[in-house]
Structure 1
Amino acid sequence: MTITDLLHWASVGHLTSGRPTAARETGQDGLRTDPDHPGLNEVVGLAEHDLEEYARAIHYLETAARHGLLGVTGELTLADCYLRFGLVRAAAAVYDRLANPGQCPTPHLPALAKGLGRVGRYAAAQNVCDRLARLRPDYHPAWYGAAVYRLMLGRPLADVLPALERAHRLAPHALPYRLTLAAALTDVGRAADAYPLVRNLSAEDVACGGLCRRLLAVFAHAGDAAQLDAYQARADRLAPQSPSRAAGHGNRLADPRRLPRPAGHGNRPAHE
């Protein structure tokens, strides 16, 4: 093992321990000896990304790709950098390749699904979420993602509800799941089933005026005047910044792109 290889592994150790500045400095020491070393270029590129130096990250990651294969972490990070500069085609090419069977290990599937969604590949993103749900059936973000991308594709709510219900069962306290499920149940005429999901939920916890208006039917059906008034007032206050009031994506549910993602969804796994 050469000194360059030792510096590479030391740089990887810094990066995986949450020390991107040290990772960059150690990697750059190695690159002074071997500027074409693919591993060093990759780890320095990943460190630059963590330090929000996205143009420099692209330089190092593309250099690594020219001199050897990037790891999946490197490819996903490069695609993220492309999107930060509006290079949608370049990012989509990376995501499309990784979406092919056998190209993306399971730990990276959440980030891949998120990336595909960012470039408008909703059908591919849904397929990745479906695959992840089969591989990790207790991983609730996979079920929620599968539901959200079905919404983005304009699928009937009857096709969306099973995944939403599964996500909510796995993580009953996740607010995005409760809200999306309550709205979907309301839109298919199941206001009575939606009411327990939002009965004790403060209107101030809902950031979308259109969603507040949709849930009015739930409280009206239940005869809950206090919640009805609170959600009506909240919807009125949010009206100026609520473009989701308009119909979208082939169904009446609020645009899912405005809903927060569950914690941890799409985070980058550790460097390979």
Structure 2
Amino acid sequence: MRYETVIGLEIHAQLMTESKMFCSCSTKFGARPNTNICPVCTGQPGVLPVINKKAIELAIKTALALNCKIEPHSVFARKNYFYPDLPKNYQISQYEQPLATGGSIEIEVEGKIKKIGITRVHLEEDAGKLVHKGAERIVGAEESLADYNREGVPLMEIVSEPDIRSPREAAVYTQTLADLLRYLEVCDARMEEGSLRCDANLSIRPAGETKFGVKTEVKNMNSFKAIEKALIAEEKRHIETAEEGGKIIQETRFYDDV
């Protein structure tokens, strides 16, 4: 049986502002741990966030370049979750009423132009960064160190429609978007520094089928090459599971480049 791969991408881009999303702390990369923090970005009692006007302008600039509709009214809300990189235990983000919706971007793959739909562009604040000793992730680590300098840095999320049909297309889409963000001077798109990050949702379905299959989310892809390699591996796993009569479960998986 022939299968069709269906991929949607969520691109997280740190915006090139001098201060954070809701406070005046510096966004400078590489500062000593926990020196660019304040009561606002660490969520101390009684503080009130004030939105960064420059971040709004950069996000609108991007949305216009992606042919999106700028919504006349957008709303920030608290996304509650508990993890050591988020001292407030909530993230200020947008969901029901984002900044912009319904755009597109063209990519070129093997000499052919393809249009990829953009579902939404919205703003949120970044989380802090954890450094684990003795393991790749917090599970199994001897200890984890928290650096909250990144907490509150303006983050723009660009969500694609599930229009991508191969790992190669996914890598080209991300590269094309990174080039656009650099050209607009919105984000420096340095994946090695974490200023551009990519999460992928991948599923397969029989060729000709219109119903979506069960998807898995793939994280920890820190280069354009890693995006393609990770999705090739996940695509292969899905197809082999289907051919063996197995069942794909919806889950989040992390890519190990080693």
**In proportion to residue count, which structure has more strand?**
2
Higher normalized helix content (fraction of residues): 1
Question: Normalised by the size of structure 2, how large is the TM-score?
Answer: 0.31
Structure with the greater alpha carbon radius of gyration: 1
User: With structure 1 as the length reference, what TM-score do the two structures score?
Assistant: 0.30
